[in-house]
Structure 1
Amino acid sequence: MFEKTIGLGKKELLKKKELEKKPLSKILLFHVGISTHGLETWRLQNKLTAEQSFRKGFEMIDQIIDIQLKHKLRILTLYILAEKKQSLKQNPEEFDVLMKVIQESLDRLAHSDKIHQNQIKISILGKWFDLPSEATETIRNVIDETKDYDNFFLNFCINYNGQEELVDACRLIARKVKADKLDPELITKSTIKESLYSSNFLPPDIIIKNGRGKSLNAFMLWDSSFSHIYFTGKNFPEFTELDLLNAIEDWKKS
């Protein structure tokens, strides 16, 4: 059963069953963002290699897709990889390992029956085109394989930084102004939204931040202006379906 794979205790199972009695279909919840922070801390605590922790992270993503389908969440955005420069500064060798795991995982999703049967469109937000060629080829393939789907939307933030997203939006707007395609006096908040990586998606209703720190780490910086922020206080591999249900309950009370 799914509960066993995510390690829920008896008390958690009881609370989960109680929360599941409240149908999400009656709640106007369209978009949930989830960060994957806490992998490094979890790896050190469990004395694992970088590759083992990265693979565990993508196993978790498979489970979160199940949660998305179970609760009919139209849009799910996962913060996978911060901007490449930051990652390289931390550890170039680990970055190469992560690239390998990302490629394998995205290739698996591109051929996943679950993805195709449920018509889940996969998009990548961030400067993914600056990644190594092998990774960009895999990314283009998974985008192409799911481009015509519109039942569910699964976004991965890869080589992503929320501040850079705004900088790129400003550059795009500036080019339009320079080309006389846009009057500066007509620039609005909508103009900025239309220039973001996430331009095709509604802003998140809820952002669930994993990891011990209480910072969004520039995750969907513009789009999160009115999002409900829920901090699990857990490392990402410890995230469970109950955390999602708790976040929704917290959001409903706000």
Structure 2
Amino acid sequence: MSWVRENCVSFLELLCIKVVKTGRVPQHIAFIMDGNRRFAKKNSVDSCAGHYKGFDKLSETLKWCLDLGIPEVTVYAFSIENFKRSKEEVDGLMDLARDKFQRLMDELDQINEWGVRIHVAGRLSLLPEDLRVLVSKAMLATRYNYKLRLNIAYAYTGRDEISRAATHIVDGVKNNELSPQDIDDELVSRTLELGEAELLVRTSGEVRLSDFMLWQVSNTVLYFTDVLWPEFTVYNLLAAIIHFQRNAPPPKAVVDISETKQEFLNKMERQRWQQIEKYVSCP
């Protein structure tokens, strides 16, 4: 199964997409892809089969987002808390990630044609070494694509993301790259790995955030649906966007930051890419 699927969109689906696009479309949509295990139980298959089905649904949803012109998508793929699940399920999820990231590398020409940039957010150091190398290769190989940015939160929690951002800022002050007066909510926001989503969708009927993008959702429209993630359809996505159109606050104005803050952020970005390159060259 391709990461970006060449699935055929029916005439009715295409018409609905065009109608929804006449309104405001979120520039960044996040998904908590919940319900894979319940889908597996419902269909009398093991949990790993449910997770595989859920990943296929991600590639399909990504295609719909491309059709809608959404430039950034973030998905919650694996929480740090998920490491507490059974060894069998965790190993299965790691194998799933290996398989899908390897397929991404095999289909790199297609990914680049679609202009999809892959960014994996989270503690990559917690991943098995071979998977960490694959993930890093995927990010490097798609680094200069700009049509759609796909953020995959893996070995991630919101609290951990905030604590890592705080550590970077403290180090910046210690190294005289920042002053205490430079620290404000805009700096914290830009130091985080994930940007603010305009719309967050959670499937399977759960109505909580589960430690996902905790800092970023202060102005985010939340949409909860009972449908299980592997059964998510383009009509569910369009319903979420219509909900967004009815409830969204005005777009946030772009905030200028000082040269000092920008240089600090640029240095962080350079260091991040250096670390990713190191994972690839020195596994």
TM-score where L is the length of structure 2: 0.79
The alpha-carbon deviation at position 196 of structure 1 amounts to 0.6
Q: 1:69: which partner in 2?
A: 66
SS at match of 1:158: strand
Give runs of aligned pairs for residues 35-54 of structure 1, distance below 5 A: 35-54=32-51
Q: Deviations over 1:184-235 (max 9, x none)?
A: 122111110121112xx4x111000112210011221111111100001222
The alpha-carbon deviation at position 2 of structure 1 amounts to 4.4
The alpha-carbon deviation at position 180 of structure 1 amounts to 2.3
The alpha-carbon deviation at position 39 of structure 1 amounts to 1.1
Q: Deviations over 1:131-187 (max 9, x none)?
A: 100110110111111011111111111011011111111111111122222211221
Q: 1:252: which partner in 2?
A: 245
Change (3 A) 1:120 1:17: closer
1:235 aligns with 2:231: no
Change (3 A) 1:25 1:108: farther
The alpha-carbon deviation at position 19 of structure 1 amounts to 3.7
Change (3 A) 1:77 1:25: farther
Counterpart CA distance in 2 for 1:28 and 1:97 is 36
Q: 1:189: which partner in 2?
A: 185
Change (3 A) 1:28 1:70: closer
Letter in 2 for 1:100: D
1:109 aligns with 2:104: yes
Letter in 2 for 1:64: T
Counterpart CA distance in 2 for 1:111 and 1:147 is 16
The alpha-carbon deviation at position 50 of structure 1 amounts to 2.3
Gaps of 5+ in 2: 1-6, 248-283
The alpha-carbon deviation at position 20 of structure 1 amounts to 2.9
Count of aligned pairs: 240
Change (3 A) 1:148 1:93: same
Q: Deviations over 1:101-138 (max 9, x none)?
A: 11111121233243121111110011123210011011
- Could you tell me whether the CA contact under 8 Å between 2:37 and 2:51 is conserved in 1? no
Give runs of aligned pairs for residues 19-168 of structure 1, distance below 5 A: 19-24=16-21, 27-83=24-80, 86-112=81-107, 113-168=109-164
Counterpart CA distance in 2 for 1:108 and 1:145 is 13
- Could you tell me whether the CA contact under 8 Å between 2:31 and 2:76 is conserved in 1? yes
- Could you tell me whether the CA contact under 8 Å between 2:117 and 2:145 is conserved in 1? yes
Gaps of 5+ in 1: 5-12
The alpha-carbon deviation at position 25 of structure 1 amounts to 6.1
Q: 2:206: which partner in 1?
A: 213
| Greater than 6 Å deviation, 4+ residue runs | none
Counterpart CA distance in 2 for 1:231 and 1:2 is 27
Counterpart CA distance in 1 for 2:120 and 2:184 is 25
Change (3 A) 1:180 1:78: same
Letter in 1 for 2:214: L
Change (3 A) 1:126 1:25: farther
RMSD over equivalenced CA pairs, Å: 2.0
SS at match of 2:117: strand
- Could you tell me whether the CA contact under 8 Å between 1:110 and 1:146 is conserved in 2? no
Counterpart CA distance in 1 for 2:130 and 2:192 is 25
- Could you tell me whether the CA contact under 8 Å between 1:25 and 1:72 is conserved in 2? no
The alpha-carbon deviation at position 18 of structure 1 amounts to 6.6
Counterpart CA distance in 1 for 2:209 and 2:119 is 21
